Amino acid sequence: MPSRLIHTAEHGLVVFCGAGVSMVPPSSLPSWWALNEQIVASLAALIERYCGAAQAQAWAALLNARRTAGSFPPEYQAELISRHFGSAYFKVLQCLDGETPNAVHESLAALAQAGVVRVIVTSNFDRLLERAFARRGVPLDVHITAAQFEALADRLAGEPSPAAPCQLLKLHGSVEEPDTLVDTLAQRMRGLSPAICSATRSCLQRYHWLFLGYSGADLEANPHYLGLQAEAATAVGLSWLVRDDARVTVPPSVTRIVSLFGERGELLRGELPGWLQQAFGRWLAPAADPAAATPLTPSVPAREALVRHTREWAEALGPERAALVIADMLSHVAGDPAAARELLTKVLDAASTPTNARPALANALANTLNSLGDIAAARQVAEAALARLPAGEGPERIGLQSTLGLIDFGAGAWEAALEAFDRVAADSAARGDDERRGIALHNRAMVLERMARFDDAAECYGEELALVTRLGDVMAQAQAQNNLAALHLRTGHYAQAIDAARAAIALRERLGDELGVAHAMGNIGSALSQQGDVKGALAAYEKILAVFRRIGHRQGELTTLLNLGTVAGEAHDHARAEAPLREALALATATGHGGERLRALWELAATCRETGRPDEARALLAEALVLARAAQDRAAEANVLVETGVLHWRGGALAEAEAALRDGIRLRETIAEPTALDAARSNLALVLRAQGRLDEAAALLEALLASAAQRGEQGTVAHLHYNLGALQHERGQVDEVVRHFDAAQRWYRDAGQTTRAVQVLATLGTVCGTQGKVGASLAWFDQAIALASEAAHRDAIGAGLKRVIEVLLRNGYPDIAQTFAQRGASG
């Protein structure tokens, strides 16, 4: 036994008991992991009547494999189940109790009797410690309720009585009082009550702590758990027992906490209950074989009792609710909404499904169909379910109205969607339903964003984040952060977009949600691309692609391949763009994703156009146009026409280019996608400029500038200022050139797009210098030089200076030319 623990034991110990303490035979309680695996198996057994035993067992095995791989934390499973079952979920946890204490419980009772153990803190629900103390006749004060913890905190703040009995703090409740149990992710994220924190803080300052049978899982989700981190500098110390098994690794969260205690912290190796006899033998009666390790495998009767209890619990809740939970897990954990759709459809089609269960099932199916892009079917399911409901407001009606709002949102009916979410938010607030109100706020913010009310959307997301953080709803926090990232992207705030996406990733990783991580990484890829960091964007998309491929998410794989091609193409690396675009085309064709196939065709056509293969580009666009018109996909048809117009423009067929672009614009004017409409108009402005119709081109670009500014698309505004500056340069309007280029460079600088900012500043210096505005020219070049940090930046500045120097020398101003040359040398 380490000397530090011997010394501190004489002054009293706090022992923290994790689940491993009660897993020791003959208690043989299941581990948290084993319990959750059996819960899934018992829920799956109930849905066999709908999908057959083989399919139900396969889905259960898939979900449990995700947990084994570390991608489905038990607290997240508890969160998903409790959302459907409410407080009834916690009844399943009552199987975590037993009648027979083991040698660890008995030893702790004996050590308390000897005055060594003064306080026991546990996350366990069982009453085995209480029974061990009772069998020995050792007094024990048990604390479970809020009132009990408040009284204890006050008592511990003073000087404890040496005659006081051992104190047992059951942090997460006790089985005999289900309403005290803490198991879900939301509960854990809310943290311990102030009274509990005060009590543990007092214990850390007064006694050495010994951790037994505890993995430290709570520290993974919340590093502030128990106040260990905050009190590390002044606490007495801690010892953490880890199983003496080479296969058992110490979690990083535990290693970090122990390291914070310095010399007052230690990691020990040993097996319970033998280690306790070896360490505290002077206070304990000899055991028959104190060195013997006790296997932690539950006995056959214990396993049978676990199966029996979880099945009885599941059957009491019913097969329809079991199907809702399994479908939720399939969508959000396995990343397979198609499987969820299959299950929910079969339950609704079953004649045995009772009427009162159908609204919730229909709502879940409509949401699943909407997520799969089948908007018409989603609307049909939700509206039919709503029509069958009796008159009056109720949670079922509110839920279906919310789903219809989401469907309207997907269809671009913003006003209808906003009206639905406003109604849901008001009804939820009136009912005191904060969870549903949080969902309504999230949905409302999404609509406001689409309506270009960006400030209102950001405010709404902020209100939602405050609410769901208070509720401890990690999934909702992750969704809000990811949507905030997308909002920042639209408004050109790329640094903030990356910060929000990283926050979403951290939350998704805590949930083991690889699919959510990949989607958040997509926002980072987009932000990097918009900042001109092509290398970073491509690297992000490569990581995302690997995730989608690993979990078999073909839709995500397809979208990411297209994004890889787009980013490479925008960076003019058309050779790199071609491979993922051709792979995307093949995958879209194989999987029947018509919209993605169309996108692959026109993006591949752009690649062929840029690499000198106009005939191949023309053939791809012709195929795409036929497919778009057959599918009656006006947006896709408009995109193909715009690409066709650009192809004609690049080939010098300006009349044909104008005709194709105007056809595409006419289609775009019937679709509520102003950004895409303005992109088409921007291409038309380029054609008009090429035709020498500079006044028309300028007027069109000014209109586009006003439109983008109204939508708050600051990145687009900057690019349009740049294009207008270039156009006004052709028209000889120097003051207008300066005005537009200056606006562009200021935004590029604020957005962190240094390369673009340096290029525009160098252009400003060149324009002013060649027009004889020497002072202004030098000032612009000085700003560019101050920003320059790469060879490409210095090359752009050098090219501009060279052009000005040539003009000055030609016009007979060698002294001024020398001044510009000196600027080049200093840069």
pLDDT digits 0-9 by tens, 141-172? 999 998 999 999 988 888 877 788 999 999 99
Give the pLDDT score at 292.
44
Q: What is the pLDDT of residues 656-667, one digit of tens each?
A: 999 999 999 999
Give the pLDDT score at 653.
95
**Nearest CA to 299 among 23, 104, 484?**
23
d(CA 561, CA 580) in angstroms, rounded, equals: 5
DSSP conformation class of 184: S
Q: What is the pLDDT of residues 721-769, one digit of tens each?
A: 998 998 888 888 889 999 999 999 998 888 777 888 999 999 999 999 9
Q: What is the pLDDT of residues 428-438, one digit of tens each?
A: 888 888 888 88
HEC string of 42-93 equals HHHHHCHHHHCHHHHHHHHHHHHHHHHCCCCCHHHHHHHHHHHHHHHHHHHH
d(CA 1, CA 603) in angstroms, rounded, equals: 69
Give the pLDDT score at 290.
42
Calculate the dihedral angle through the C-alpha atoms of 548, 553, 557, 559, rounding to the nearest 10 degrees. -120
Q: What is the pLDDT of residues 595-607, one digit of tens each?
A: 789 899 999 999 9
Mean pLDDT, residues 367-374 taken together = 83
User: The pTM is what?
Assistant: 0.59
Mean pLDDT, residues 29-46 taken together = 90
Q: What is the pLDDT of residues 530-568, one digit of tens each?
A: 766 778 888 888 888 887 776 566 778 888 999 899 888
Whether the per-residue pLDDT at 222 is higher than 80: the answer is no
* Element (DSSP H or E) covering residue 347: helix 337-349
d(CA 3, CA 779) in angstroms, rounded, equals: 72
Q: Are 218 and 208 in contact (CB under 8 A)?
A: no
Task: Give the side-chain half-sphere CA count within 13 A for 564.
Answer: 26
d(CA 617, CA 418) in angstroms, rounded, equals: 42
Whether the per-residue pLDDT at 590 is higher than 90: the answer is no
Q: Are 21 and 213 in contact (CB under 8 A)?
A: yes
Q: What is the pLDDT of residues 490-518, one digit of tens each?
A: 777 788 889 999 999 888 776 656 677 88
Q: What is the pLDDT of residues 305-360, one digit of tens each?
A: 888 989 999 999 899 999 999 999 998 888 788 899 999 999 999 999 999 999 99
Using pLDDT thresholds of 50, 70 and 90, give the confidence band for residue 291. very low
Using pLDDT thresholds of 50, 70 and 90, give the confidence band for residue 293. very low
* 3 vs 179: which has the higher pLDDT: 179
Give the DSSP letter string of 624-635.
HHHHHHHTT-HH
Q: 166 to each of 64, 110, 114, 115, 148, how far by Cα in Å? A: 39, 11, 11, 8, 15
Q: Which residue has the tokens 């709002």?
A: 405
d(CA 769, CA 775) in angstroms, rounded, equals: 8
Q: What is the pLDDT of residues 436-464, one digit of tens each?
A: 888 889 889 988 887 778 889 989 999 99
Give the pLDDT score at 112.
95
Give the pLDDT score at 531.
67
Whether the per-residue pLDDT at 107 is higher than 90: the answer is yes
Give the pLDDT score at 333.
83
Q: What are phi and psi of 196, to 5 degrees?
A: -65, -45
